Amino acid sequence: MTSTTNDARPITILWATQSGRAKACARRTIRLLHSSLGITPNNIQGQCSFDDFGADGFLSLGQQQNSLLLMFVSTTGDAEQCTSIASTWAKLLSKSLPHTTFQHCQFALFALGDRAYGPDAYCAAGRKVAARLNQLSAIPICTLGYGDDGSLNGGVFADLDVWLEGQLFPTLKAMIGGGQLKLLDASCSSALDDKEIKMYTVKAIRQADAAENENVALHEWQNERYQQHYANCFKHSCPTTAYQYNGDIKRRITSNANQLDCKTHPLLGRVSVNNRITADDWMQNTRHIRINVLSSMKGDAPTLSGASVTELPYQAGDVATILPSNPSSLVSRFLSVLPTAIRSIADGTIHIQYNQHHTQTSMNNHPWPQYCTLRGLLTHCADIQSLPEREDLFALSSFCNPNHEDGNDHREKLISLSETSGAALYGDYIIREKRNWVDVLYDFDSIRFEEGGAKLTLEDLHFSIASSPSFIQMNRSPTVSNGFALELCVAVVEGSTPFGRPYTGCCSKYLESISPCSDQTTSDGSDIVRLWIHPGSFSNLPLDIRENPSPHHYFTTPVLYVGAGTGIAPLRSLILEREAIMMQNGATSISSSATTVEGNRDGNDDNILVFGCRSKAKDYYYGEEWEEFVKTKRLRIIPAFSRDQKVGKLYVQRALREAGGGSGELIVQHILEHNGAVYIAGGSKMARAVKDEIVEALTNTLGSEKTAKKLLNKLKRTGKFSIEAWS
Ligand SMILES: Cc1cc2nc3c(=O)[nH]c(=O)nc-3n(C[C@H](O)[C@H](O)[C@H](O)COP(=O)(O)O)c2cc1C
C-alpha cells in the first residue's frame, strides 16, 4: 500500500557496530527491502549509526505516530555496547525518561554476537537495547533476530537471511497489506530508483599541475589549498567519546558529540620514537612508538605550561584513535585497476558535492573532502585495504562491462559471492585470502574494460570505502618537554594467506612506516599523524593513597593486571600512573632488601602483573622495566612465557590459577581478602578465558556461580573489574 499523504512514515534504520558487520547487515536489509518488498529508499531514513543519528533524534522517534525502527546491534567488550551507540545508550538509560517515551514506536532488532562468549554475554548488547525499548513502551513487530559469528556458511549473514525471510519480511508484508504501514509512493521523492540515486556529484575541475603534484599525494591534507577541506572531512571521523580540549587543557567529553559542531578536528602529533621491541630474529614485529602531540588540526595548540603530571590532558587507560593513510604504492595499484577515464584525472582537483535529496544526517557524515585530488582522497580518506563486504560485491556487479569476454560471467560471480548460498565461496575468496578492494578490482577486469564505455564512474567509487579510524591502546609518556606525549605498543600485522599471498594491517603498517623526525624544521610532514584521545575501559583506576603508607603499601586498593601481547599497553599505562602518584606522594626508591611481608599481604602486592607472551628472550614487552619495578618491590610479576615451557604451553589464565597455591588462591585472596581491583587487557579470547578462571575461583570459595558473577558485576559497576579486549 503506497501513499502520497503525510500519514506515511519512513522506516528508520540504525546500527551499532565496532567492526562493520552490523552496518553490512543493515545495507543488505535495505537492498532486500527494495527487491523483495518494493520498499523504496525514499521510505527509509537514518541509515547511520545510533550516535550519528543522535540521541535526541532517537528519543524523538518515540513520540512520532507510527514510527518504525529497524536496528542492527553488535556486542563488544565484555557483553557491552559498541562505541557507535555509546551516547544514545547513556541517554536511553536515563532514569528520568518516562515509561511512555517510545509509546508510539514499533521496532525490529537484529542482534549480532558470538555464542563462544557464553550464554550470558551472547548478543547481550542487542538484547539490552530491545529490553530497554520494551520498558519504554516500544512494541516489537517480530521476534528478536540473533546473528552468531560461528553459524555455518556465512556467520551472522546466514542468520540474517533466515530472520529476514522468516520474521521481518512476512511481518512487514502483512503490515503493508493491512494498512498499518503506509509507504510513500516512489514518485513523492525526487529520486525514482535507488540505482539512480547518487550520493555525490563529482566533477574534475582542474588539471594536474606538474610542479605542485610532486609528492602531493602523501601530504595533500597538509597542503594549503586543500587543508581546510580535509580538516572538515576528518572531523566527521571524530569518535563520539573523544575528549574536547579547551585553552587551559582541561578535558571534557561533550554529551552532544554526535552533533557535527561538537565533533573536533583531530590532534596532530609528531612521531619521535619508533623502535622495534621484539628480537630482530623474532617473527612478530612489535613497535614502541612515541608521539608528541603538537596541536589540533585547527591550530589551537594545547600547551602544558605549568601542568603537573596529574593534569595531563588525558588519563591512564585512555585510548588513541589514529587516522591512517595508505602507502602511495598501493594507491597507484588501485588507480591502475580503474577505468582510464577515472585514472586520467587522478592528480587534478576534483569537487565533491552532496546531492540535495540526501538527508541532513547523511550530509553531516560527509566522509570526503569537498576539494581534493582523487589520489589524495584514496591516500588519506579511503580504506582501500579493507575487505569488501558481500553488499559491496553486489554493488560492483553492476559495473561489469558486458562487452568484455568475461563481463557477464563476472557479473554473475560477484552476485553469487554476495548471496547467502555463496557464503563458502566468499569465505574462500575474500576472507581466507584477504582480498581487498585492489585485489577484487584487479581480478574482475571487466569493470575497467573500455569498449562501449566503462560503467564505473568517479561518483560510484564511494562504495563503502571511507576509511574509519583505528583504536590503539596508549600509554602516557613519562617524559614530557614541549606539549604532551603518548606512547603506543603496536604489533605490526603482516603475514601470508593459505595461498601465499602477502597481507598487512592498514594502521599498524602505516605507523611502522613512519620515520621519526626530531627536528621540526627538517621534517617533510610525513612524520605527522592525526589522532583523537578518548576514554578506554579503565577509567576508574584506584589511586587513593593509604593514610600511613609503608614503603611497600601506598595504595588502599591493590590492583591485579592481566594481559597478553600488546594488551600490555593500557596496563603499563595504569602501572606507570600509580608509580607517578606514589612518587608525587613522597615515595623514593625502595630498598630491595626491605622486608616483603606486611600482614598477609606481600610487599609488592599493591601491583600484580600477570603477563603472557611467547618467549622471555623474544617478545617480553618492556621486560627490563618490569624487572626494575620488581627489584624495588613496586611490582610482583607472574609471567606466562607460553613457548619457554619444557612440557606444553603456559597461558595467562593457567599462570593466574597456579599462582599462590594452584587452584586460584591468588584470585580469591586479591579480590575477597584484599578488596583488590582487576584489569584485563588483550585479545578477546584471552580475556574471556581469564574471566572464566576468575569466576571459577570465586565460585569455589563463594559456593555458587551465581554469587561469583554477582560479585564481579558489582565490581564492574564500581570500576574495580574491567576488561579492554579486541579481536
Ligand atoms: C573485543 C570483542 C568482544 C566481543 N564481545 C562479545 C560479547 O561479549 N558477546 C557476544 O555475543 N559477542 C561478542 N563479540 C563478537 C561480536 O559481537 C561479533 O564479532 C559481531 O559480529 C561483530 O559485529 P560488528 O562488526 O558490527 O562490530 C565480541 C567481539 C570482539 C572483537
Q: Is the ipTM of this complex over 0.95?
A: yes
Weakest-pLDDT range from 199-208, 356-365, 396-405, 532-541: 356-365
Instruction: Measure 144 CA to ligand 1 centroid, in angstroms.
Output: 17
Name the residue of 117, 471, 712 whose CB sits within 8 Å of the most ligand 1 atoms, as the mutation to test its pocket.
117
Contact (Cβ atoms closer than 8 angstroms) between residue 259 and residue 565: no
Separation of alpha carbons 173 and 270, rounded Å: 56
Common-topology check for domains 2-188 and 559-726 = yes
The residues pairing with 708 across neighbouring beta strands, listed in sequence order, are none
**Three-class HEC string of 265-295:** CCEEEEEEEEEECCCCCCCCCEEEEEEEEEE
Does residue 184's CB lie within 6 angstroms of at least one atom of ligand 1?
A: no
- 603-627 pLDDT tens trace: 567 899 999 999 999 999 999 999 9
Q: Give the model's pLDDT for residue 305.
A: 41
- 202-211 pLDDT tens trace: 677 666 665 4
Does residue 22's CB lie within 6 angstroms of at least one atom of ligand 1?
A: yes
Instruction: Measure 78 CA to ligand 1 centroid, in angstroms.
Output: 9
Q: Give the model's pLDDT for residue 187.
A: 56
Distance from the first to the final alpha carbon of the chain: 45
Q: Give the model's pLDDT for residue 313.
A: 62
Separation of alpha carbons 419 and 412, rounded Å: 11
pLDDT at 276 over 50: yes
Phi and psi at residue 640, to the nearest 5°: -130, 90
Instruction: Measure 676 CA to ligand 1 centroid, in angstroms.
Output: 28
- Counting atoms of ligand 1 from 1, which one is nearest the CA of 23? 26
- 375-396 pLDDT tens trace: 999 999 888 998 998 889 999 9
The CA-atom distances, in angstroms, between 257 and each of 20, 239, 252, 380, 445 are 20, 8, 11, 23, 42
pTM for the model: 0.85
Nearest CA to ligand 1 atom 8: 79
Q: Give the model's pLDDT for residue 454.
A: 87
Q: Give the model's pLDDT for residue 502.
A: 93
- Counting atoms of ligand 1 from 1, which one is nearest the CA of 82? 27
CATH topology of domain 2-188: Rossmann fold (3.40.50)
Instruction: Measure 535 CA to ligand 1 centroid, in angstroms.
Output: 20
- Counting atoms of ligand 1 from 1, which one is nearest the CA of 24? 26
Average pLDDT over residues 33-48: 89
Extended beta strands in 600-662, E state:
601-602, 607-613, 636-641
Domain ranges of the chain: 2-188, 265-322+471-536, 325-468, 559-726
Q: Give the model's pLDDT for residue 257.
A: 43
Separation of alpha carbons 112 and 228, rounded Å: 38
In this predicted model, which residue has the larger pLDDT, 582 or 130? Answer: 130
Q: Give the model's pLDDT for residue 474.
A: 66
Average pLDDT over residues 127-149: 97
Name the residue of 19, 114, 566, 722 whose CB sits within 8 Å of the most ligand 1 atoms, as the mutation to test its pocket.
114
Instruction: Measure 677 CA to ligand 1 centroid, in angstroms.
Output: 25
Residues 6+ away with beta carbon under 8 Å from 82: 16, 17, 18, 22, 73, 74, 75, 76, 125
Separation of alpha carbons 254 and 343, rounded Å: 42
pLDDT at 667 over 90: yes
- 673-710 pLDDT tens trace: 999 999 999 998 899 999 999 999 999 999 999 999 99
DSSP tag of 466: B
Q: Name the strand (E) or helix (H) holding 331.
A: helix 328-336
- 502-557 pLDDT tens trace: 999 999 999 999 999 766 666 777 888 998 888 888 888 898 888 888 777 788 99
Q: Give the model's pLDDT for residue 691.
A: 95
DSSP tag of 87: H
Does residue 680's CB lie within 6 angstroms of at least one atom of ligand 1?
A: no
Separation of alpha carbons 365 and 23, rounded Å: 15
Q: Are strands 597-598 and 371-373 parallel, antiparallel or unpaired?
A: unpaired
CATH topology of domain 325-468: NADPH-cytochrome p450 Reductase; Chain A, domain 3 (1.20.990)
What does pLDDT average to over the chain? 83
Separation of alpha carbons 418 and 157, rounded Å: 10
Separation of alpha carbons 28 and 436, rounded Å: 19
Three-state secondary structure call for residue 21: helix
Name the residue of 18, 50, 148, 387 whose CB sits within 8 Å of the most ligand 1 atoms, as the mutation to test its pocket.
18
Instruction: Measure 726 CA to ligand 1 centroid, in angstroms.
Output: 9
Write out the DSSP string of 373-394: EHHHHHHHTB-TTSPPPHHHHH
Name the residue of 50, 72, 76, 566 whose CB sits within 8 Å of the most ligand 1 atoms, as the mutation to test its pocket.
76
Cα-Cα-Cα-Cα dihedral sign, residues 354, 358, 360, 361: negative
Cα-Cα-Cα-Cα dihedral sign, residues 250, 251, 252, 257: positive
The dotted CATH code for 265-322+471-536 is 2.40.30.10
pLDDT at 156 over 90: yes
Q: Is 92 exposed, middle or buried (0-12, 13-18, 19+ CB in 10 A)?
A: buried
Nearest CA to ligand 1 atom 6: 76
Q: Give the model's pLDDT for residue 400.
A: 96
Q: Give the model's pLDDT for residue 301.
A: 44
- Counting atoms of ligand 1 from 1, which one is nearest the CA of 147? 21
Instruction: Measure 566 CA to ligand 1 centroid, in angstroms.
Output: 19
Nearest CA to ligand 1 atom 27: 18
The dotted CATH code for 559-726 is 3.40.50.80
From the list 685, 651, 289, 271, the residue with the least C-alpha distance to 492 is 289
pLDDT at 179 over 70: yes
% of the chain with per-residue pLDDT over 90 = 47
Nearest CA to ligand 1 atom 31: 727
Instruction: Measure 112 CA to ligand 1 centroid, in angstroms.
Output: 7
Instruction: Measure 539 CA to ligand 1 centroid, in angstroms.
Output: 22
pLDDT at 245 over 90: no
Nearest CA to ligand 1 atom 18: 113
- Using pLDDT thresholds of 50, 70 and 90, give the confidence band for residue 353: confident
Average pLDDT over residues 351-362: 60
Instruction: Measure 153 CA to ligand 1 centroid, in angstroms.
Output: 18
Instruction: Measure 616 CA to ligand 1 centroid, in angstroms.
Output: 31
In this predicted model, which residue has the larger pLDDT, 10 or 301? Answer: 10
- The gap from C-alpha 11 to its chain's centroid, in whole angstroms, comes to 27
Instruction: Measure 113 CA to ligand 1 centroid, in angstroms.
Output: 5
Average pLDDT over residues 487-507: 92
Q: Name the strand (E) or helix (H) holding 156.
A: helix 156-163
The CA-atom distances, in angstroms, between 31 and each of 15, 28, 36, 47 are 15, 5, 8, 12
Three-state secondary structure call for residue 468: coil
